[in-house]
Amino acid sequence: MAQGRPFELQRLHGMGEGVYREVLRQHPQQPCRVYAPVGQHRDLLAYLVRRLLENGANSSFVHQLADESVGLAVLLASPMERAHAFAQGEAGPLCLPLPPQLYGPHRPNSLGLDLSVAADRALLEAAWAAVRLPDIPEFDIKNLNKSFYTCVSSYEKWSSLPVGERAEVMRRAADALQADLPRFCALLVKEAHKTWGDAIAEVREAIDFLRYYALQAERIQQPIALPEVAPEVFTPPGFKGWGLTGESNTLQLRGRGVWVAISPWNFPLAIFIGQVAAALVTGNVVLAKPAEQTPAVAHAAVALLHEAGVPNDALQLFHGSGETVGAGLVALPGIAGVVFTGSTQVAKLIQRALAAKDGPIVPLIAETGGINAMLVDSSALPEQVCDAVVQSAFRSAGQRCSALRLLCVHEAVADGVIEMIQGAMQTLQVGDPSNFATDVGPLIDVEAHAHISHLVENIKKNVHLSLINQAQAAIKNIFLPVLIEVSDVAQVGEEIFGPVLQVLRWGPSCTGLETPHALIAAINRLGATRVGSAGYGLTLGLHTRIDSRARAWAQAAHVGNVYVNRNMIGAVVGLQPFGGDGLSGTGPKAGGPHYLYRFCTEQTLTINTTAAGGNVALMA
Amino acid sequence: MAQGRPFELQRLHGMGEGVYREVLRQHPQQPCRVYAPVGQHRDLLAYLVRRLLENGANSSFVHQLADESVGLAVLLASPMERAHAFAQGEAGPLCLPLPPQLYGPHRPNSLGLDLSVAADRALLEAAWAAVRLPDIPEFDIKNLNKSFYTCVSSYEKWSSLPVGERAEVMRRAADALQADLPRFCALLVKEAHKTWGDAIAEVREAIDFLRYYALQAERIQQPIALPEVAPEVFTPPGFKGWGLTGESNTLQLRGRGVWVAISPWNFPLAIFIGQVAAALVTGNVVLAKPAEQTPAVAHAAVALLHEAGVPNDALQLFHGSGETVGAGLVALPGIAGVVFTGSTQVAKLIQRALAAKDGPIVPLIAETGGINAMLVDSSALPEQVCDAVVQSAFRSAGQRCSALRLLCVHEAVADGVIEMIQGAMQTLQVGDPSNFATDVGPLIDVEAHAHISHLVENIKKNVHLSLINQAQAAIKNIFLPVLIEVSDVAQVGEEIFGPVLQVLRWGPSCTGLETPHALIAAINRLGATRVGSAGYGLTLGLHTRIDSRARAWAQAAHVGNVYVNRNMIGAVVGLQPFGGDGLSGTGPKAGGPHYLYRFCTEQTLTINTTAAGGNVALMA
């Protein structure tokens, strides 16, 4: 089979001995490895169970050999041919969609690059060599009214386009972004100090937002004939339909007007484009203010959207500080809504500024912070927990609103789990994000570094400190991942937006935290400012091998996104609609089926169809 | 056929002469009338068109007689037998649903009473004789926190019931309200001074709200498996579905917590129950404050809901003033949302009170006022316009938020239309609402009467006054319907919540109002407080015989509910979702498919289904 090409043969100890003997007889120098599972019984049990599951599968050779209903032709069919047929898209026995078709024929999945493939890395290296950060001038606040009126004047035309045309503009932008992925990745690494892996995921998310909202807008902005009757209702032959005769009633969703979109530096492309695309595709026009730290990414995104067909006046970029430009935009009397992602404190300021104005009460969509917990019981798989914790707490240097902040481990397994996490932390590569090997890059800027250093110093004074990773790094604003053990939920008072993980033990010997129920109640109150008021509720990780328990805990948690037996970051558009409860935001969830409603206003149109003298429909 | 029973025979002049001759020969004293259309050619033309449409219908005898494909058996089939078969629910040739089945098998239509039927009136008379208004004590504000905590404590249990159980409670309440319709009508006439016709419509609306929201909650609170792929997408045989393998993602909508519901006196039953049912059925608990003027209706509604199965703590009634009890409720730190119907000014106060508090940004659903216009062009049918205007402006003494305030008539037809409306106004019976003949009852209270009198006096000083109906009435707080001609949209500055209609001419000779486009732009600005800020946008009437024009005007109007060639009041639940734009409210529309989303929070649950060691689903 090798036909002269180099190869290596591997077999599990105790199996396939005849094949080895034959190969080694003919090619004594051939590399032939024997591998064997090594470990204690608790490791080997899991391995054994997996082997049993594989061999027990209906499709396994061992199983089929004993099955008299499986003929020789099926048994001996070449797996190569089956794989080939599958790759050609023919309905094979597995018949699962390939990754690009994961979301059905109406929405192509975004494509990434594989950092373990040299050719893919080369694309990024070339983009990195070419990329320059342009100087984006700050917006002069005295031109605000003028910009607003040009935006208003673009509204009528853009909002009266058929929704399909606006959706096509978003799809063109998505395709252009897909084609230009390496350049946008390089921009993200350069301006936002993202690792390459994070950058690729972010560009993909932006592409997904564009395509997902395009599809959702086409769905919800079709006129709805009323009354709606469930499609499964039986309608007898010849039946003319439920509802009134002599009157038509339709409900139509339309844009609201000029939106202000204010986005953060931690997802300067994905959240920026998500907000803007949601507003635009539903027929609104947008004044967009990106974070001060990341204007170049936003500038490139706006250029891409203009190129795809969004009129220049209908999407305008405002670079500047929140205190001047952001506040000025929110205070404009005629805006139809604000979509904001950022801190809970700034969201509150925006709410108050909107309320202070006279005029209509306009929607505020705010997606804010979280003190996100992970709850681990004694049945959880430690390796899985360790993987999930390290990714959730330290990836992107902890600068995700979804990042894990408080790990709650059952006391029976806490020692082992914490030790394993500490070990994994030692292997993290912290440093220059433009290096492909880097796992954890720097914080966004020197202010963030000073702020988080200060918070961690304060915690150190008050709590038992398990471990601070003391290694140093050469690049600026690096904050080394840190794990701190605390003894009470009350010690965790605020969101620390960096690679800082606090760990808490729970169980029968922990006063106030004896049961998972008590723990979830405490998690629900995290960050609450007053008795009776809700706390944060953004993400929650659950690790348990008892399925019913995971569901009951999810039900009890006032939290927007619950992840079971995996990491708790990286919500995927359309799969994991994202956004929280209480202090973590207003909803609706971004990347979910209910998001676009909030960008729309509804009009009911009732027509007396008998006004001409009779109901012509009945006579037809 | 009469078999001795008394009868009267009628025929159209020029038809059926033989039948008459024969009857009169046998019964010379038998009443036999001949009727004939009388009028000018413009009236008779419409009559003639209607006759032609009727005779031209495929199902008409005349048409079928000439149709060779229609056999003798069909032609001579007894219409009595066809009607009988239809009443039995058999699929007849018309095959239209009967009124109770109008909304399909999952939601029975509410039933009313027919005021022209003596037996129906007798039910209301008996209820009227029996009804007494109980004294509802004002809530003592110092018990507010205690009430709040009992409400909070009821949340967990009520919100974790399956949505179907909560929906069943609402349906039981609907059935109980249907059975008790006469008593609730009598309460509405007594406490809210409604006419009987208005009272019946309101009880029906409340029943519809209960059943509609029950069905909608069952629809939206099912877990949604993600990714959603449009059902029309072709899935090949054996196909395992789109989406990821190895992970399940579901989106679940749940209640948010304790809601404050503040409702108005003009629909003290329907809006009160609509707000409360929407919050309860989605798993929230409710602190409900009805208008000060109508506590007895609210008290009866709460008793009905408790009786149907809503726990006492989960729905609590707070009678008292807006300034004390209402403000106290809104200021509670832990409330999860406010649903309000009332004035634009009070909605603004609530928005500011919510923003002033620390803690989460919670939803405010506000449905407020409107300066509602009707636009009549020269092609409109004057009789239809007149009917629609009198109903829209004066029914319920103009005390509906949807009521017509500004009639805009094209100058070419204005004289005739205004004259016809004035004539129709003279025929309105204004007075005691408990009298079945009354069309227009009194204003809600003496303060409203004084306020509206003052506003109208002010208008009189400044504008040309076409007509003030000067007749007097014996009952207190009666305000006689009035029509005032104004010459400029700018003269219409605020909502006058009574039977006061302002009329404006538009057309080529009217500066600033030459075109319908200019007129709609002016209507969109009605009530706007600042340049660039939106005005009111609740209801709009359009009267034109040109269908494409009606649709274009609806598109241009920033208005929530548009009615073409009919009146513009009385939105029906599920058919005409109700609520406005700009100063008229926040949306979503009450009685529409998107209302309940705002009462819910969303949770995404992501489960790694391979955590046990492999993806079992793939092996099955």
SS3 per-residue string spanning A191-242: HHCCCHHHHHHHHHHHHHHHHHHHHHHHHHCCCEEECCCCCCCCCCCCCCCC
Please report, for residues A366, A580, B96, B159, B618, the alpha-carbon distance to residue A584 in angstroms, rounded to integers and kept in the order given.
8, 5, 50, 21, 37
Candidates A363, A594, A604; nearest CB to B602: A594
Preceding peptide of B227 cis, ω within 30°? yes
Name which of A282-291, A425-434, B400-409 the model is least confident about: A425-434
Residues of A in contact with B552 (CB under 8 A): none
| Closest residue in A to B152 (Cα–Cα) | A532
Active-site entry in B401, B408, B510, B600: B401
A533 vs B249, B359, B582: nearest CB: B359
Antiparallel, parallel or unpaired: β B9-12 and B32-35: parallel
pLDDT of A342-379, one tens digit each?
999 999 999 999 999 999 999 999 999 999 999 999 99
Structure tokens at A202: 């972010």
pLDDT of residue A244: 75
| pLDDT at A92 > cutoff 50 | no
Q: Is the pLDDT of residue A231 over 80?
A: no
Q: In the listed set B41, B68, B101, which residue is the last one of a domain according to the structure?
A: B101
**What is the structure's pLDDT at A238?**
56
Does the structure show a pLDDT above 90 at B7?
A: no
Q: Reply yes or no on whether the pLDDT at B405 is more than 80.
A: yes
CATH at B278: 3.40.605.10
- Inter-chain CB proximity B562 and A605 less than 8 Å: yes
Chain A residues with CB under 8 Å of B106 CB are 229-230, 233
Check B581 against A601: CB less than 8 A apart.
yes
pLDDT value, residue A104: 85
Closest Cβ–Cβ partner in B334, B559, B602 for A603: B559
Instruction: Please report residues of B whose CB lies closer than 8 A to that of A58.
Output: 619
One domain, residues B463 and B494: yes
In a domain, A572, yes or no: yes
Q: What is the pLDDT of residue B474?
A: 66
Q: Are residues A384 and A355 in the same domain?
A: no
Q: What is the pLDDT of residues A189-210, one digit of tens each?
A: 999 999 999 999 999 999 999 9
Q: In which element (H, E) is residue A505 found?
A: strand A500-506
Chain B interface test: which of A109, A208, A605, A618 (most B C-beta within 10 Å): A605
Q: Report which of B399, B424, B387 is spatially closest to residue B478, judged by C-alpha positions.
A: B399
Nearest-Cα distance to chain B for A464, in Å, is: 30
Cβ within 8 Å, pair B602-A562: no
The verdict on B550 and B530 lying in the same domain is: yes
Lowest mean pLDDT among A39-43, A476-480, A499-503, B239-243: B239-243
Do A265 and A399 lie in a common domain? no
Residues of A annotated catalytic, as ranges? 367, 401
Subunit contact B95:A239, Cβ cutoff 8 A: yes
| Residue B337 bridge partners (DSSP) | B259
Q: How wide is the angle at C-alpha B102 spanned by C-alphas B97 and B107, nearest 5°?
A: 125
Taking CB atoms and an 8 Å cutoff, what residues of chain B touch A93?
A: 238
CB contact under 8 A, B251 and A530: no
> Is A589 close to B612, i.e. CB distance below 8 A?
no
Regarding whether B280 and B408 lie in a shared domain, the answer is no
| Model pLDDT for residues B561-580, shown as the tens digit of each residue | 999 999 999 999 999 999 99
Q: Judge: A597–B593 Cβ closer than 8 Å, yes or no.
A: no
Which residues of chain A make contact with B336, given a CB cutoff of 8 A? 534
Chains A–B, number of C-beta pairs less than 8 Å apart: 336
Cβ–Cβ of A224/B160 closer than 8 Å? Answer: no
Which tops the pLDDT comparison, B1 or B154? B154
Output the average pLDDT for chain A. Answer: 91
Provide, as residue numbers in chain A, all residues whose Cβ is less than 8 Å from the Cβ of B589.
Answer: 251, 602, 604
Is residue B236 scored above 70 in pLDDT? no
Give me the residues paired with residue B23 across strands: none
Q: Is residue B439 included in any domain, yes or no?
A: yes
* Same domain as A438, residue A324: no
Per-residue pLDDT at B350: 98
Residue A182 lies in a domain: yes
Nearest CA-CA partner of A544 in A373, A372, A376: A376
Question: What's the pLDDT at B16?
Answer: 84
Contacts of B57 in chain A (CB under 8 A): 618-619
- In this prediction, what percent of chain A has a pLDDT beyond 90? 72
In this complex, the residue of B242, B529, B612 whose CB is nearest that of residue A104 is B242
A239 within a domain of the structure (yes/no): no
Mean pLDDT of the region A528-540: 88
Question: Nearest by CB to B239, which of A95, A564, A589?
Answer: A95
| Claim to verify: residue A275 and residue A379 sit in the same structural domain | no
**Which residues of chain A make contact with B366, given a CB cutoff of 8 A?**
361
Does a structural domain hold residue A145? yes
Supply the pLDDT for residue A13: 86
> Is there a contact between A227 and B574 if contact means CB atoms under 8 Å apart?
yes
In this predicted structure, what is the pLDDT of residue B91? 46
CATH number, domain with residue A461: 3.40.309.10
A489 or A309, greater pLDDT: A309
Cα–Cα distance for residue pair B574/B210, rounded to 1 Å: 11
The pLDDT tens digits of the residues spanning A117-160 come to 999 999 999 999 999 999 999 999 999 999 999 999 999 999 99
Task: Render A365-395 in DSSP notation, one character per residue.
Answer: EEE----EEEEE-TTS-HHHHHHHHHHHHHG
CB contact under 8 A, B602 and A619: no
Shortest distance, CA B387 to any CA of chain A (angstroms): 13
Bridge-partner residues for B251, per DSSP?
A: B224, B604
Report pLDDT for B50: 76
Of B588 and A457, the one with more pLDDT: B588
Cα–Cα distance for residue pair B520/A133, rounded to 1 Å: 48
Q: What percent of chain B has pLDDT over 70?
A: 92
**Whether A604 and B562 lie within 8 Å, measured CB to CB:** yes
Range of the domain at A433: 372-577
Residues A296 and A408 placed together within one structural domain of the fold? no
Does the pLDDT at position B88 exceed 70?
Answer: no
Which residues on B lie below 8 Å from A229 (Cβ)? 103-104, 106
B470: confidence class by pLDDT, cuts 50, 70, 90: very low
Give the C-alpha separation, A500 to A496, whole Å. Answer: 7
From the list A228, A565, A578, which residue is nearest B608 (CB)? A565
Contact A334 B532 (CB under 8 A): yes
User: Is the backbone peptide bond immediately before B588 cis, with ω within 30 degrees of 0?
Assistant: yes
- Residue B240 is predicted with a pLDDT of 56
Query: Which of the four pLDDT bands, split at 50, 70 and 90, describes residue B468?
Result: very low
- Say whether A226 and B575 touch across the interface (CB within 8 A): yes
Q: Please determine, for residue B238, whether its predicted confidence score (pLDDT) is greater than 60.
A: no
Closest Cα of chain A to B381: distance in Å? 9
Contacts B588 to A, Cβ<8 Å: 597, 602
pLDDT band for position A235 (50/70/90)? low
Query: Which pLDDT score is estimated for A468?
Result: 44
User: Chain B closest CA to A171's CA: distance in Å?
Assistant: 18
pLDDT in the model for residue B532: 73
From A95, A360, A554, residue closest to B238, measured CB to CB: A95
CB contact under 8 A, A560 and B601: yes
Q: Chain B residues with CB inside 8 Å of A565's CB?
A: 607-608, 611
Give the residue from B337, B344, B341, B346 showing the smallest Cα distance to B364.
B337
Q: Cβ contact (<8 Å) for B103 and A575?
A: no
CA–CA distance, A530 with B334 (Å, rounded to integer): 8
Q: Which of A606, A607, A608, A615 to mutate to test the interface with B (most CBs of B within 10 A)?
A: A606
Asked if residue B460 is part of any domain, the answer here is yes
Please pick, among B191, B367, B485, B495, the residue that the annotation labels catalytic.
Answer: B367
Determine the residue of chain A that is closest to B347 in CA distance.
A361
Task: Tell me, yes or no, whether B421 and B445 share the same domain.
Answer: yes
Confidence bin at A239 (pLDDT 50/70/90): low
Averaged pLDDT of chain B: 91
Of A160, A554, A558, the CB nearest to B555: A160
DSSP 8-state code for residue B372: E
**Shortest CB distance from A351 goes to which of B224, B361, B587?**
B361
A618 assigned to some structural domain: no
Contact call for A243 and B102, based on CB within 8 A: yes
Report the Cα A53 to chain-centroid distance in Å: 32
Give the tokens for residue B538.
């609740």
Query: Are residues B349 and B261 located together in one domain of the fold?
Result: yes
**Chain segment B316-361, per-residue pLDDT in tens:** 999 999 999 999 999 999 999 999 999 999 999 999 999 999 999 9
Residues of B in contact with A589 (CB under 8 A): 251, 602, 604
Q: How many domains does chain B have?
A: 3
Same domain for B363 and B384? no
Q: Do A562 and B605 touch (CB under 8 A)?
A: yes
Find out whether the peptide bond into B264 is cis, omega within 30 degrees of 0.
no
Identify the closest residue of chain A to B244 by CA–CA distance: A102
pLDDT of residue B92: 46
A94, A361, A538: which to substitute to probe chain B, counting the most B Cβ within 10 Å?
Answer: A361
B519, part of any domain: yes
Those residues whose C-beta lies under 8 Å from the C-beta of residue B397, and which sit 6 or more positions away, are: B440, B441, B442, B443, B479, B498, B499
- Same-domain status, A349 and A381: no
